[in-house]
Amino acid sequence: MPWTKVYEDRSEFAAAVKKDPNLRGLTYRDAILEASTQLLEHDKDFFILGEGVDDPGGVFGTTKGLADRFGDKRVMDTPLAENGVTGIAMGAALTGLRPLLVHMRVDFMTLSLDQIANHAAKWGYMFAGAVKVPLTIRAIIGRGWGSAAQHSQCLQAMFTSVPGLKVVMPATPYDAKGLLTASVYDDNPVIFIEHRALYEQIGHVPEEPYKVELGKAIVRQKGSDVTIVASSQMVTEAMKAGRQLKNDGIECEIIDLRTLKPMDRVTILGSVNKTGRLVIADNGWKEGGYSASVSAIVSEEAFSALKAPIQRVALPNVPTPASHVLEAAYYKSYIDIIEAVKRITG
Amino acid sequence: MPWTKVYEDRSEFAAAVKKDPNLRGLTYRDAILEASTQLLEHDKDFFILGEGVDDPGGVFGTTKGLADRFGDKRVMDTPLAENGVTGIAMGAALTGLRPLLVHMRVDFMTLSLDQIANHAAKWGYMFAGAVKVPLTIRAIIGRGWGSAAQHSQCLQAMFTSVPGLKVVMPATPYDAKGLLTASVYDDNPVIFIEHRALYEQIGHVPEEPYKVELGKAIVRQKGSDVTIVASSQMVTEAMKAGRQLKNDGIECEIIDLRTLKPMDRVTILGSVNKTGRLVIADNGWKEGGYSASVSAIVSEEAFSALKAPIQRVALPNVPTPASHVLEAAYYKSYIDIIEAVKRITG
Amino acid sequence: MELDKPQQIKLFTSMLRIRMLEEKVVELYPAQEMKCPVHLCIGQEAIAAGVCAHLNKDDYLTSNHRGHGHYLAKGGDMRALVAEFYGRSTGCSKGKGGSMHIVDTSAGMFGTSAIVGGGIPMGVGAGLSIDLRGEEKISVIFFGDGAFDEGVFYESYNFAALKKLPVIFICENNFYATNSHQSARHAGSRISNMALGFDSVGTSVDGNNVESVYYAAATAVERARSGHGPTLIEAITYRWKGHVGPGTDFEAGCRSEDELKRWMEKCPIKKYRAKLIEANTLDPDLVARITDSITSEVNDAVQFALKSPLPTADDLMTDLYSE
Amino acid sequence: MELDKPQQIKLFTSMLRIRMLEEKVVELYPAQEMKCPVHLCIGQEAIAAGVCAHLNKDDYLTSNHRGHGHYLAKGGDMRALVAEFYGRSTGCSKGKGGSMHIVDTSAGMFGTSAIVGGGIPMGVGAGLSIDLRGEEKISVIFFGDGAFDEGVFYESYNFAALKKLPVIFICENNFYATNSHQSARHAGSRISNMALGFDSVGTSVDGNNVESVYYAAATAVERARSGHGPTLIEAITYRWKGHVGPGTDFEAGCRSEDELKRWMEKCPIKKYRAKLIEANTLDPDLVARITDSITSEVNDAVQFALKSPLPTADDLMTDLYSE
Ligand SMILES: Cc1ncc(C[n+]2csc(CCOP(=O)(O)OP(=O)(O)O)c2C)c(N)n1
Ligand SMILES: Cc1ncc(C[n+]2csc(CCOP(=O)(O)OP(=O)(O)O)c2C)c(N)n1
Ligand SMILES: [Mg+2]
Ligand SMILES: [Mg+2]
């Protein structure tokens, strides 16, 4: 199906369009913009707020033009006050609105962790369902060009460590639109993390609104030798790795998690039970990272199927350095995934 | 050696004192107080700050009397401004002082996560060693009596997910004193987490100042059948479990992590390589928790030694409930550890 | 808008109801059947009563760890409140919240936070919602002098003033955050002065005088309902009991007994009763009837709670997510 | 304390040095050899120059993402700064920090934060350290009108005022945080008014007039050094370049070209040069000599950087912890 396909580059998508001229392509960035636009059009309870959402640049293009079209009450610039504004958005959500709070960088969310972890995440449980928190928080992972330690983090491990949150990380334009729409209509706080390196990625995106169900992973590629569990930008790397490994006769089953919390254990365990080998590729740090959560569940629940040590491809245990030389040494790519697969196959 | 011993209750310690009348006993609470007192006496760069540190109650007794004795500049009450005060303590640390910042509950640290994770943790690396952050933050885990979701969390997973921090969780009075002293003299930001359920625990504590090295776990009990990796209050539960299991003929090797980050992999892997079985007992949540970090490292590095699935004893994926009935169902004890061990032995 | 006699009696009753419920908690707590911390507001009742007298049921109210009085004054369900103290499944939070986490959406309360200052932005968010939907409601936020220390107060007040939201900030200044005196925490001498930096309006009022609170709130409500944005009301008061639990705390050296005694003389209920009796608005007979009626209500709530079932272990894993 | 001629020439030189370094960055940046974001302070130089003229090398200074000017004015090492832009191992942060994270402990700078407001409490902590040690130093904090939005400013100011710490808060109000105008973020119309709520002193000053800044800072320094606590100085100014990078940003519709032009006419350097020439303190010849000397310094710094080695992959894992 065209929407499950990951197009690694524009030429690949162009080729697909040649075959099927009805295939509608959109970038990941525009998919987010389209979801937001349609939500603003169709749902009067929905609004967007955040620092610079009305900026001419429109948060790297993802909110471009919306303030002009929908006005500053529905697309609302805010002071730089992350904790306060998160609580304010949560308060609005408690009354039944569906706010979408936008952060240019996930790094700034450390400031609002109290409202996220001690409030939004706990409200439904603490009041035994008397209240709902239909709040979605978009946050972008930056990377490269010397962004350095405070503008490049992948903090999913922080969020997945807190019961009550949902954590979503789309890897394709189709998912970016469908998961964002589903997140907004979810009655729970959702942390929606985008990777800026994906913004230019193109793929099939239907025009009409649709949802992609939260909590369900998707198998991007079937294979019998090894399972690769990835999310966000690491899915692209995993697909690349999978293609090269095929040439070497290794068939990878590639799972795109889509939602990190709640985790789709069934899909992960099903695959590992089949392949017996697991590589986890995560954009975050390895030590204390989300990759450990996947690993731990598999070694608890599919231990007898495992034929080799679980491998994790994730960042080394240091903050992001600025110099491009150090950045190059820091970030992981398909090459690291290939190496990890090879360590446990053959 | 008397200081490596975990005395499960007061009668056990009383018996030990009978044998060796020179055995000096102190509670965990008083061990922290003694370490703090001696630091105040011996080091003019050391000071304590935090909400209510000068309170007559003295943070559950751990700072009792210090403000009277050393004055309000060295034992300083602060406004309720967790993020600001953390940054202020960090600023003081940058100039060479050694602040000890105290929180009554670890839960309040979500408010200061920006100063901890984006600043203190990254400063040394980001400036390539030009600056040092000799800041220690004490935080207490509360539990029971309807403390509920915002006053009972175990947030070690949040801190261990951030490179640059050290995370320490003492399990005994001896360690409480020695690790606190070592943390204060460490030139890096240390998150020092105490469990209030341990405050009454008694054990041998020498009077003179001493340090327990950060980053080194300790084997509390030798055994060949299964490794139990625990920390903080879970060490007490593990010891209890170990004793009962011995009656059933199962020899547990019990590792007290002491420092969660950096993790002492050598000790953990060495033990698992010997026993082939691993149970991890952590006071935090299971999903996304610290127990996953231990599990992931073992299944990566000691896979071939593993004879059974790794088990984790940790909290279910919900916020802490208030009602005592629900609390009873929520918390884990030695019984859960025994069950976990039995699932993978015999 | 002068207060008429029925309104005055209502204010008196509202205060007394809070006092009597809390005195009941003081009485019952030592039995250790309420297995959760309780933060009593005895001595501070005039603030909740005076402010909430202006509110409709669908106005929003945000409160904190010391929230029983706000809850009752706003029209929260007493039975559900007491049942929550007892950890029952009929509690307003079905036993999951405990005394610090109470809720009654039908009374415009969306749940209280025990993180100091944590509720403040939520109340502003409710005000934003009113504004976005063009409703007539207002949103009232109760918080303490301790919460005033927190940056989130500043961020929230700025937002409310910037967007001219229909929000009222009521700072219950009882001088202490736990045992830390205001002078150890605030550079400024007057909490209400902080409004100046926001080009907003602040006012300080005797929080032990229910009519003073009432009139100060009236102005703020008027401002809020007519689009002029928030008001910062500092209501100066004193808590009689310890920070947590039913005891006093001067024995522990937290405060002086003298200070407590001075403030007990300024008891908002005693003073107001005297005033109303003097004005012939109340008479001993009416006071007795009001008292009796509250006694029944309180006893009923306690009986209801004690007869209610506890949750079971099966309830542990429910309510994590709303479906 | 009137400024004498040498002091005036120093102020002028200090501004020009910042301007010329940044103009060099504008010139070189398009070559894409400085592989990090740069936040230029062209147009705002008078503030750094006017304030830092009062400071000794061992006074503390805290800065932010737009920190090159503060760094130079405080006596930071220009070579190490430029090398950091170029990601070299001779950079002040050995290439690990980049332009947003600069440090020079010998100049009292303990590292800049790129989290808006993140540096403010650190500067207060440095002030606390001075107080605890009984030193004569002061601590100066530079931050933007955007950082003023953040709760951490409030918490930090309160603490400094409460403890009467020797700290000066300099808010460089250039009206914008990224492209968000002050009017979209602040309820209050005057940043300096916020001092009122802390019973502290605030003052607003023309940030494009180096002598106005100098004199406002003089009073604040005097207050700080004599134990009267912090001052909040709002220095009103304008940034000429885009939020980040060497370009202007009116083309993108972020601001109007007119606005920029109006402010370019208020160039702090041009204005001051004219004034000093008028007063015969400067003459074209002296200006040329000063310019030449800065040109050499800047060129030398660039050469130094370009000749310096890059870090190697081996450096990635060092410096995580101090031993
Ligand atoms: C963020 C945070 N810090 C500290 C605490 C611990 N604490 C609970 S209540 C309280 C005092 C609050 O004082 P105030 O706001 O004046 O309310 P009061 O108790 O006087 O009614 C403190 C410090 C907390 N719950 N949350
Ligand atoms: C906490 C936080 N929020 C948002 C950002 C993104 N950001 C970087 S600089 C900036 C604007 C800061 O404005 P101001 O403080 O006025 O400084 P200026 O850039 O005008 O010098 C913003 C929003 C950030 N770095 N940190
Ligand atoms: Mg108080
Ligand atoms: Mg600005």
All structural domains of chain D with their residue ranges: 5-309
Predicted-assembly ipTM surpassing the 0.95 threshold: yes
- Is pLDDT above 90 for A87? yes
Q: Concatenate the DSSP letters of all residues of C308-321 into one string.
A: SPPP-GGGGGTTSS
Share the mean pLDDT of chain A: 97
Q: Please indicate if any CB of chain C lies within 8 Å of the CB of B84.
A: yes
Our answer to whether residue B103 is catalytic in this structure is no
User: The pTM is what?
Assistant: 0.98
How many angstroms away from the CA of C167 is the closest CA of chain D?
14
The rounded Å distance from CA B68 to ligand 3 centre is 23
Question: What b/e sequence results for C256-266 when a residue is b if at least 16 CB atoms lie within 10 Å of its CB, and e otherwise?
Answer: eeeebeebeeb
Contacts of B270 (CB under 8 A, 6+ apart): none
Question: Which of D155, D167, D308 to substitute to test the interface with B, most B CBs within 10 Å?
Answer: D155
Cross-chain residue pair A84–C152, CB shorter than 8 Å: yes
Distance from the first to the final alpha carbon of chain B:
32
How many angstroms away from the CA of C38 is the closest CA of chain A?
17
Question: Is residue D97 within 8 Å of residue B126, measured between CB atoms?
Answer: yes
How many angstroms away from the CA of B51 is the closest CA of chain C?
8
The model's confidence at residue A273, banded by pLDDT at 50, 70 and 90, is very high
The reported pLDDT for the residue numbered D106 is 98
All structural domains of chain B with their residue ranges: 6-204, 218-345
The reported pLDDT for the residue numbered A246 is 98
Positions of chain C with pLDDT lower than 50, given as ranges: none
Choose the catalytic residue: A34, A82, A194, A237: A82
Q: Using alpha carbons only, how large is chain B's radius of gyration in Å? A: 20
Q: Could you tell me where the beta strands, DSSP code E, fall in chain C?
A: 60-62, 139-144, 167-173, 176-177, 180-181, 201-206, 231-236
How many angstroms away from the CA of B270 is the closest CA of chain A?
17
By C-alpha distance, the chain C residue nearest A189 is C321
B6-204 placed in CATH 3.40.50.970: yes
Positions of chain D with pLDDT lower than 70, given as ranges: 1
Backbone φ and ψ of C63, nearest 5°? -135, -170
Q: Please indicate if any CB of chain A lies within 8 Å of the CB of C134.
A: no
Question: What b/e sequence results for B207-234 when a residue is b if at least 16 CB atoms lie within 10 Å of its CB, and e otherwise?
Answer: eebebbebbebbebbebebbbbbbbbbb
The reported pLDDT for the residue numbered B22 is 87
Q: Please indicate if any CB of chain B lies within 8 Å of the CB of A129.
A: no
The CATH architecture assigned to A218-345 reads 3-Layer(aba) Sandwich (3.40)
Q: Give the CA distances from residue C31 to residues C25, C26, C34, C243, in Å, rounded to whole numbers and listed in that order.
A: 10, 10, 8, 19
The rounded Å distance from CA C43 to ligand 3 centre is 12
Cross-chain residue pair A149–B126, CB shorter than 8 Å: yes
CA distance C206 to A47: 40
Question: Using a 6 Å cutoff on CB, does residue B108 contact ligand 1?
Answer: yes
Tokens encoding D297: 């310094």
Choose the catalytic residue: B103, B119, B151, B204: B151
Q: Give the CA distances from residue D302 to residues D80, D88, D306, in Å, rounded to whole numbers and listed in that order.
A: 10, 11, 6
Helix (H, G, I), strand (E, B) or coil at B224: coil
* Ligand 2 surroundings by CB, under 6 angstroms: A 51, 80, 82, 104, 108, 111; D 65-66, 114-116, 144-147, 174, 176-178, 243
Bridge partners of A280, per DSSP, are A229, A312
* Residue spans of alpha helices (H) in chain B: 10-19, 28-42, 66-70, 82-94, 113, 121-126, 156-160, 173-185, 233-247, 265-275, 290-301, 324-330, 334-344
The rounded Å distance from CA C178 to ligand 1 centre is 6
Tokens encoding D187: 């309820």
CA distance A228 to A207: 31
CA distance A229 to B277: 25
Question: Is residue C199 within 8 Å of residue D188, measured between CB atoms?
Answer: yes
Backbone φ and ψ of C177, nearest 5°? -115, 115
The reported pLDDT for the residue numbered A2 is 72
Options 3.40.50.10710, 3.40.50.510, 3.40.50.300, 3.40.50.970; CATH of D5-309: 3.40.50.970
CA distance C35 to A47: 41
Q: Which residue minimizes the CA distance to atom 17 of ligand 1?
A: C144
Question: Is residue D188 within 8 Å of residue C202, measured between CB atoms?
Answer: no
Tokens encoding C246: 């039913």
Q: Could you tell me where the beta strands, DSSP code E, fall in A63-201?
A: 75-77, 98-103, 136-141, 166-168, 190-195
Residue B321 gets which letter from DSSP? P
The rounded Å distance from CA D116 to ligand 3 centre is 30
The fraction of chain A above a pLDDT of 90, given in percent, is 94
Q: Please indicate if any CB of chain D lies within 8 Å of the CB of B146.
A: no
The rounded Å distance from CA D28 to ligand 4 centre is 25
Backbone φ and ψ of A314, nearest 5°? -160, 175
Q: Please indicate if any CB of chain B lies within 8 Å of the CB of A158.
A: yes
Nearest one of C115, C214, C118, C223 to C166, comparing CA atoms: C223
By C-alpha distance, the chain C residue nearest D191 is C197
B-proximal residues of D, 31-90, CB under 8 Å: 60, 62
Q: Please indicate if any CB of chain D lies within 8 Å of the CB of A79.
A: yes
Tokens encoding A206: 């239907």
Q: Please indicate if any CB of chain A lies within 8 Å of the CB of B259.
A: no
CA distance B292 to B314: 10
Which residue's structure tokens are 């598999």?
A: A298
Higher pLDDT, A3 or C134: C134
Question: Is residue D88 within 8 Å of residue D121, measured between CB atoms?
Answer: no
Question: B115: exposed, middle or buried (C-beta count within 10 Å: 0-12, 13-18, 19+)?
Answer: buried
CA distance D205 to D214: 10
A142-151 tens-digit pLDDT: 999 999 999 9
Question: Using a 6 Å cutoff on CB, does residue C84 contact ligand 1?
Answer: no
The reported pLDDT for the residue numbered A214 is 98
C113-160 tens-digit pLDDT: 999 999 999 999 999 999 999 999 999 999 999 999 999 999 999 999
Tokens encoding C155: 């961020």
CA distance B117 to A125: 27
CA distance A30 to A64: 9
Nearest one of B273, B274, B292 to B282, comparing CA atoms: B292
Chains touching A (at least 3 CB pairs under 8 A) are: B, C, D
Cross-chain residue pair C320–A124, CB shorter than 8 Å: yes
Nearest one of D122, D125, D82, D132 to D102, comparing CA atoms: D82
Tokens encoding A344: 């446990």
D65 CA: nearest ligand 2 atom: 9
The reported pLDDT for the residue numbered C120 is 98
Our answer to whether residue A151 is catalytic in this structure is yes
CA distance C146 to B299: 48
The reported pLDDT for the residue numbered C1 is 65
* Residue spans of alpha helices (H) in C86-227: 120-133, 151-162, 210-225
Q: Which amino acid is at D266?
A: K
Share the mean pLDDT of chain D: 97
A154-200 tens-digit pLDDT: 999 999 999 999 999 999 999 999 999 999 999 999 999 999 999 99
Q: What is the enclosing helix (H) or strand (E) of A228? A: strand A226-230
Q: Please indicate if any CB of chain C lies within 8 Å of the CB of A213.
A: no
Helix (H, G, I), strand (E, B) or coil at D197: helix
How many angstroms away from the CA of B195 is the closest CA of chain D?
26
Q: Which residue minimizes the CA distance to atom 13 of ligand 1?
A: C177
Averaged pLDDT, groups of 10, chain B, 346 residues long = 81 90 94 98 98 96 98 98 98 98 98 98 98 98 95 97 98 98 98 97 97 98 98 98 97 98 98 98 98 98 98 98 98 98 94
- In this complex, the residue of B125, B292, B317 whose CB is nearest that of residue A319 is B125
